[in-house]
Amino acid sequence: MLKIRLRRTGARNQPSFRVVVADARAARDGAFVDYLGHYNPRTEPATVVIDEEKALKWLRQGAQPSDAVRQLLTTLGTLERVKGE
């Protein structure tokens, strides 16, 4: 099963994250299928950049977002577009 989840990048104590599509069995920072965008919680306000078309494509194909990514997609309004179809 494919998951849309966060992949940690950045130095120690300075996390930033990439939003990726990965196999559910892969390690957190392991192999991934596609890169969708990035998220930086350290800026004020937090920076969220996600390619909405790619995210919609993967959600339509059955990829399940993690809890953190679900919150990000809800904030951007992407999940409402999928539910509205």
Q: pTM, whole model, 2 decimals?
A: 0.89
Cα angle 7-11-15, degrees, rounded to a multiple of 5: 45
Structural domain span for residue 17? 2-83
What is the domain count for the chain? 1
**Quick one: DSSP state of residue 37?**
E
Q: CATH no. for residue 72? A: 3.30.1320.10
Q: What is the pLDDT of residues 27-70, one digit of tens each?
A: 888 889 999 999 999 999 999 999 999 999 999 999 999 999 99
pLDDT of 15 reads: 95
pLDDT digits (tens, 9 = 90+) for 16-25: 999 999 999 9
Task: Please report which helix (H) or strand (E) contains residue 14, including its range.
Answer: none
Q: What pLDDT band is residue 13 in, cutting at 50, 70 and 90?
A: very high
